[in-house]
Chains A and B, each alone.
Chain A
């Protein structure tokens, strides 16, 4: 008997799940409903539209003929506003309803709105969809200065893209640059590079008010300073987009709570990607890790289980790779705790930095600036719990060669 799989969303997690279902269940019906009226794209590539390195024609990750080949039914411009759990139906904004056998909620995230007086009329909130990108491009037209509120990855990528375009950029951050993504040392380096490129950074600050002032925007900071700017872009993080599920009985903490098989508490309802709060790799504790690698993995796990094959998620690992002005910063895994063994080496002249965090003989975290490594292999060593044993010092000394060697040894299990 064939089943009907309905997927809310058409982002990374949604597509990953749909492909997995198709690889297992050739005959099942797979339908993706997206609230946007365009082909799927990855939000990760939007900043490259701003910098001009990517043209909109090349943005789409799949086209209609690929959807035909995969036999996915893509419904554009349909927003799901509710769920009838008993009847196994979703409710669309236009009042229509649709039955499902299994449902995947992959509705992603939405930008958070910080409390700033006057933001509604002056600011530009979020940079999350192709619509945002188009609007911002229009706003930037003819402007020379931009103020960015936020210091997360998206904010940094916007800042990098705009600096590359030759604009004057001010960055206001509540604490420091890249907190939550990179540790203090790496964060400070990123900030230093941005300053070198002409950016002004106001750390430990908030915007209290933003108001229209003769065609320009006046920004008032919490420390009392104020200045005028051309455009204000607010990118203060994202939150799961799950408010449409209110009243359905689904368990939500900050994100939708799921088990290792990406099942929610409702039967035959799964969730994956930025919208979930799933279990982490190291401690098995719930949390949000809204990054592409997690979305892919969670989508795969959800898809397999929806198609009737049991598969468990090994848990998310925080990881971020940031490329800026010829530099590369890569951070993965745990921030050191007292019980960990930390090996690090740095050179302030050239800026390189490498740090390995070990728990007994296992690698549990690592951070690099401008070091030749294969990030995927470092990830492999952590995920596969490879025994580093006597090679810790060697790994610090020659990270690329030694990590490759350890990966090969583990992969083959014999020398």
Chain B
């Protein structure tokens, strides 16, 4: 079992410009004479940026690796990286190793210092008047998920499948007391098996492409009639949600049925051998949008399906992807609170097998998709759009496309074309977000 330790956390750029309460408390941490503070203030007034930084207590600390006398050690008890002052020779190599400025060198004492979390009772956290600094267990996500994993450890999914990871964490977040629904697709083969080898331990209803929402409506009405509160959750691909099953979904949204509809978008009919769908992006190669001769992959841009769902005016819509797991889990938790209508969550689930990308690139792709603004993360709650969060320095789309085989034929001009469509979409989302702010 992975062990999680308590570490310092703070909200970036949330400090008032003139506050130094944490640094003062840190300087007096021993209660005797003031020392140099190991929590550092950053003020760049030109940009109106005011924040703090301190050691992150890395799991593989580079300061520890470089220390020539082994004076820096990470404790197995509390995870804190400490400098044993009696072994420190003041060479300063640790300050050169740490990329995050976590080690402080005192020229007066000729020794290196760093945050030791005041052995579990950080004075800076106590002193922060705005509760910007917090001290809690590294990974909050472990608290959200059930201990039990409802999907078997081995499944029929391809190696490195992000959709499988998404499904696994969806089941762990929602847990017992829910019924799941699906249609023919990759994840159905995990949930029901193909005659045998089902990998799932929760109730599951396998529907047809066209009737997932209508089946759920029937089940929902039945439980409503017998007055039992049961969560219903659909986990289907883009072919079902955006193409073949759209009519039933749109109807359910309009009628205000109360269940969660999750679409894992792998941008095509991947389970049947990679045919194009309406969410396949511009210029992407698939078996039905080939490359060769006159053909340059898909001619049309993908339809922006989460926005179409938002425009139904349902209570909650969100985009998410597995590289930002905490963000996804929080959105799911929010979705589970909704009692008055349909919830739609659109997951980007890169398909390394079908997209011709390295098998271990799934997480990297889903992160790059966000960092390039190819797949912006946002949520729509009661009429307002909000980025979660907005990317201020997007990477060029070529960073993303160069990893994906289905884009490997792209010429410079075609990458530019794709970049422009990404820019346009983000611009549209921005104006929607701003609209909500001025509301």
Contact = CB atoms under 8 A, between A and B. Distances in A.
A374 B98 contact: yes
Kindly state the interface size class of chain B when it binds its partner: 35 or more
Contacts of A296: 62, 65-66
Contacts of A62: 70
A165 interface: no
B96 A330 contact: yes
B375 to A, nearest CB: 14
Contacts of A45: 68-69, 89, 91
B43 interface: yes
A136 to B, nearest CB: 18
A379 B100 CA distance: 10
Contacts of A402: 44
A110 interface: no
Contact of A321 (B96, B110, B391, B392): B96
A301 B43 CA distance: 37
Contacts of A383: 99
A5 to B, nearest CB: 19
Contact of A54 (B49, B51, B89, B107): B89
B247 interface: no
A387 B100 contact: no
A376 B69 contact: no
B92 A376 contact: no
Interface string B103-134: 10101001000000000000000000000000
Nearest to B95: A375
Given A53-B90, A60-B70, A413 B107 contact: no
Interface string A36-56: 000001101100100001100
A376 B95 contact: yes
B47 A405 contact: yes
Contact of B92 (A42, A323, A404, A409): A323
Contacts of B90: 53, 323
B35 interface: no
Interface string B45-76: 01101010100000000100111111100000
Nearest to A389: B393
Contacts of A319: 96
Given A404-B42, A405-B44, A408-B53, A328 B92 contact: yes
A9 to B, nearest CB: 16
A87 B69 CA distance: 38
A16 B65 contact: yes
* Chain B CB within 10 A, most for which of A16, A376, A402, A413: A376
Given A42-B68, A53-B89, A404 B392 contact: no
Interface in B360-397: 371, 389-393
B291 interface: no
Given A61-B68, A408-B42, A44 B47 contact: no
Contacts of A401: 42-44
Contacts of A133: none
B271 to A, nearest CB: 29
A48 B91 contact: yes
A45 B46 CA distance: 42
A42 B93 CA distance: 12
Contacts of B103: 374, 376
Nearest to B367: A413
A85 to B, nearest CB: 31
Contact of A405 (B42, B91, B110, B392): B42
B101 interface: yes
17 contacts: A44-B93, A53-B90, A54-B69, A58-B71, A58-B86, A61-B68, A321-B95, A323-B92, A326-B107, A375-B96, A376-B62, A377-B99, A394-B46, A401-B44, A405-B44, A415-B13, A415-B392
Interface of B: 12-13, 40, 42-44, 46-47, 49, 51, 53, 62, 65-71, 86-87, 89-93, 95-101, 103, 105, 107, 110, 371, 389-393
Interface of A: 16, 41-42, 44-45, 48, 53-54, 58-62, 292-293, 296, 319, 321, 323, 326, 328, 330, 374-377, 379-380, 383, 387, 394, 398, 401-402, 404-405, 407-415
Given A321-B92, A405-B44, 19 more contacts: A45-B68, A45-B89, A58-B69, A58-B71, A61-B70, A62-B70, A293-B96, A321-B95, A374-B101, A375-B96, A376-B95, A376-B96, A376-B100, A376-B103, A379-B96, A404-B40, A408-B53, A409-B392, A415-B12
